[in-house]
A and B are shown apart, each in its own frame.
Chain A
Amino acid sequence: EDQVTQSPEALRLQEGESSSLNCSYTVSGLRGLFWYRQDPGKGPEFLFTLYSAGEEKEKERLKATLTKKESFLHITAPKPEDSATYLCAVQAPNDYKLSFGAGTTVTVRA
């Protein structure tokens, strides 16, 4: 069974204080690893897809990286508007479903 563990559960940052979120996964093969951002009371918003170890993707202050066992979401010089819950999900080959972690809730204080 696919398993996704995200850490920490919550992260409080000062504006400008860079940090990283971790997503550890166990899956029989990897079709893709997905990062989403979710604001309170809203649906998840797609951020990145990573397919193979060594791959990196960036969007504004966010950078996602992938190894064979985990992915990191780096937040560089965060702003209060980066406050959200960040979700990680994996997809196995020949499988249409995503297996999600519980998320990391990030709070950035001005």
Chain B
Amino acid sequence: DGGITQSPKYLFRKEGQNVTLSCEQNLNHDAMYWYRQDPGQGLRLIYYSQIVNDFQKGDIAEGYSVSREKKESFPLTVTSAQKNPTAFYLCASTLTGQNNEQFFGPGTRLTVL
């Protein structure tokens, strides 16, 4: 089955800790994205990557970091500099040059204790 997987489903973090959220896709998609979802708000873009070894900041990149060493993988690190990290994090991917529909993973819910 082709798709996007995210792990873990739930993640708890103590203040001051860095945590890394995993995102893997086997759709052979070129571009990958990280969004943050908070209650009552639209999805907000954190980072995106169109090709391996290249990525760009989205609208709310402060306190986050990413890497894109492989086409299939786009991990997101939530650093201790992110002041309000409790949220639902969604990874998405798309084929560039096509209809540009983004397909989403199941999400990771991060809670700061």
Contact = CB atoms under 8 A, between A and B. Distances in A.
B105 A101 contact: no
B2 interface: no
Interface string A66-110: 000000000000000000000101010000111111110000000
B96 A46 contact: no
Contact of B99 (A32, A87, A96, A97): A32
B107 interface: yes
B109 to A, nearest CB: 7
Interface of B: 4, 6, 31, 33, 35, 40-45, 48, 50, 58, 88, 90, 92, 96, 99-107, 109
Interface in A39-62: 41-46, 49
Given A42-B107, A103-B42, A97 B100 contact: no
Contact of B58 (A4, A32, A41, A97): A97
Interface of A: 4, 9, 31-32, 34, 36, 41-46, 49, 87, 89, 91, 96-103
Contacts of B43: 44, 87, 89, 98, 100
A71 to B, nearest CB: 15
A36 B37 CA distance: 14
A57 to B, nearest CB: 12
Nearest to B109: A41
Given A43-B105, A43-B106, A100 B100 contact: no
Given A32-B99, A34-B101, A100-B43, 5 more contacts: A41-B109, A46-B102, A49-B101, A87-B43, A89-B43
| Residue of B6, B31, B43 with most chain A CB atoms under a 10 A cut-off | B43
B109 A102 contact: no
11 contacts: A32-B99, A34-B102, A36-B104, A43-B90, A43-B105, A44-B43, A44-B90, A46-B101, A97-B33, A100-B35, A101-B42
